[in-house]
Amino acid sequence: MEERVNLIETFSEFKEFKNIDRESLMRILEDIFRSVLSKKLGPDANFDVIVNVDRGDLEIQQYREIVEDGAVENPNTQIALSDAIKIEPDFEVGEEVMENIRLEDFARREILSLRQNLISKIMEYEKDLIYKKYENNVGELITGEVTQVWRKEVLVADEEGIELVLPKSEQIPADHYKKGDSITAVVERVEIISSTPRITLSRTSPMFLERLLEREVDEIRDGLITIKNVVRSPGERAKVLVESYDDRIDPVGACVGLKGSRIHGIIHELHNENIDIINYTNNPKLLITRALNPAKISFIEIDEENKKADVYMKPDQVSLAIGKGGYNIKLAGKLSGYEIDVFRDDIEEEEDVDLDEFNDVFDQWVIDAFKNIGCDTAKSVLKLSREELIQRTDLEEETVDEMIAAVKEELDEE
C-alpha cells in the first residue's frame, strides 16, 4: 500500500545518516512504534517490534491470552478460544497467541504521525551526538574541508560531514580560503543556538599554537616539556614559555628543532608569524629580560605589589624592545604578568664597562647574580644602592661590597 511504501522510504532515508549507528537507529524506531502501538492497542497490550533497517521494514507481533468464549474483557490482551483455534486448532485456554500486526492496519494519520516522529527523533539524536562529540573536543585540533566562504565566516565540514564554523574574527589576517581548501584549526567553543549545536573554530587562539607545538614536538606530547604560557598577536608575533623537568633536555632547542625543522612548519601554518620560544624562570627580572629579547636591557626595577616593571636600556635598544606595532613589549607584558614601561638609560655606553670584564676578579656565578637583576654593566651596579644589591642578588654583604669597590675602581681608572 502507499502508506507502507512511504514508511519504507523513510527507513531508507534514515539508513543513510552517517552519524547514527544501526543499533541506535533500531532503538529509536522501536521506541516510536511502541509509543504509537500503546496508544492504538492500550497500555496493557503485549507486543514486540522487530525492526530491520537494512531491508527497510519491520514486524509487529502482538501476544494475547486465550480465554473461554464470552470471557474476553480486554480484546487487546485477550482472545476467545473460538477465535484462537481459527489460527491454530491445537490452542487451549490459558495459552498465548501470537499474531502479526500489518502496517496496512495503521490509519493514514497514524502513518504520517510515525514518519514525523521518526524524523524529529533522528534529528534530535544527531544534534545531541554532534554536541557531545565536540563538547569533549574543545581545545583540540581538527582538519576539515571548506564548503562555503562568506564575508563574515567560513563553513567547514569535518571527516563525518559535520558543519563547523570559522568566523572572520577567529581567522589570521592573512587567511584566505576558497571552496575545497583544507583547513586546520582548534575547536574554540560549542554552544546550542536555536536547538542546533554550533561548533566554532579558531586559528587566532593561543591554544591553536599550543596544539600545533604538541603535534610537532614529541617531548611536549610525552610530558617532558611543559608549555607554561602562550601569548599571540595573530599573524604578527607570538611568545611561548616552556619548561623542561629533565635537565638533559633543552626545551627551547627541542621546540625549535634541528635547523628549525620543527618550528618552520608551524610558522608556515601561521603565515610567517614570528614565534619566540622562551625558557621559563621564576625570576621575574630574568623572565622579563628573556621576554623582551632581542633588546638588551641595562637594568630593571620591579614593583611586586602593583605588578609593574620599569626597564632601562640604551636608546638604540628601545625600538627593539617595543617591536613593530608595539607587539613585542605587549606580548612580553602578557607573558610575564607585569606591566612593562621602557626608559632610556642615560649611561653612555663608551663610559661603561661590561660586567663580564670582571671575570678575572669574581667567579662567573657572582657576575651572573648581578646580571640576573639587570646589572650587566659597571654603572648599572652603581645605579642601585648597596642595600638593594644585597637584597636582590641574595649575595653575602662582603661580596657585594667587593663588587661595588671593584666597579668604582674600574670607572675611576677610565
Distance CA 153, CA 412 (A): 67
Q: Is 315 exposed, middle or buried (0-12, 13-18, 19+ CB in 10 A)?
A: exposed
> Which residues belong to CATH 2.40.50.140 in the chain?
148-202
Fold annotation for 148-202:
OB fold (Dihydrolipoamide Acetyltransferase, E2P) (2.40.50)
**Rg from Cα positions in the chain:** 37
Q: 213: closest CA among 251, 161, 170?
A: 251
What was the pLDDT predicted at 217?
94
Distance CA 97, CA 109 (A): 28
How high is the mean pLDDT of the chain? 86
Q: 255: closest CA among 298, 302, 318, 212?
A: 212
Q: Which residue did the predictor score with more confidence, 210 or 259?
A: 210
Fold annotation for 349-413:
DNA polymerase; domain 1 (1.10.150)
pLDDT, tens only, 6-53? 444 555 555 555 566 667 777 777 787 777 777 777 777 787 777 775
Return the CATH number of the domain spanning residue range 2-132.
3.30.1480.10
Q: Is 306 exposed, middle or buried (0-12, 13-18, 19+ CB in 10 A)?
A: exposed
User: For residue 299, what are the β-bridge partners?
Assistant: 312
> Which residues belong to CATH 1.10.150 in the chain?
349-413
Q: 134: closest CA among 190, 180, 209?
A: 190
Q: In percent, how much of the chain has pLDDT > 70? A: 90
User: Does the reported pTM lie above 0.75?
Assistant: no
| Average of per-residue pLDDT across 63-76 | 87
pLDDT, tens only, 155-200? 999 988 899 999 999 999 999 999 999 999 999 999 998 888 999 9
- Pair 337, 309: CB distance under 8 Å: no
Distance CA 166, CA 387 (A): 56
Distance CA 179, CA 396 (A): 68
| Assigned C-alpha cell, 303 | 614593583
Farthest-apart Cα atoms in the chain, separation: 129
DSSP track, 330-396: HHHHHHHTSEEEEEE--S-GGG--BGGGGTTTS-HHHHHHHHTTT--BHHHHHTS-HHHHHHHH---
Give every strand in the sheet of 308-313, ordered side by side.
299-303, 308-313, 339-344
Confidence bin at 3 (pLDDT 50/70/90): very low
Distance CA 370, CA 289 (A): 13
> Which residues belong to CATH 3.30.1480.10 in the chain?
2-132
| Assigned C-alpha cell, 385 | 644602592
Count CB atoms within 10 A of the CB of residue 292.
30
CA distances for 289 relative to 23, 31, 86, 286, 318, angstroms: 60, 66, 97, 5, 13
Q: How many helices (H) and strands (E) does the chain have?
A: 15, 15
Distance CA 234, CA 264 (A): 16
Per-residue b or e along 321-346, where b marks 16 or more CB atoms closer than 10 Å to that residue's CB? bbbeeebbbbbbbbbbebebebeebe
Strand (E) or helix (H) holding 399 = helix 397-413
Q: 292: closest CA among 308, 278, 273?
A: 278
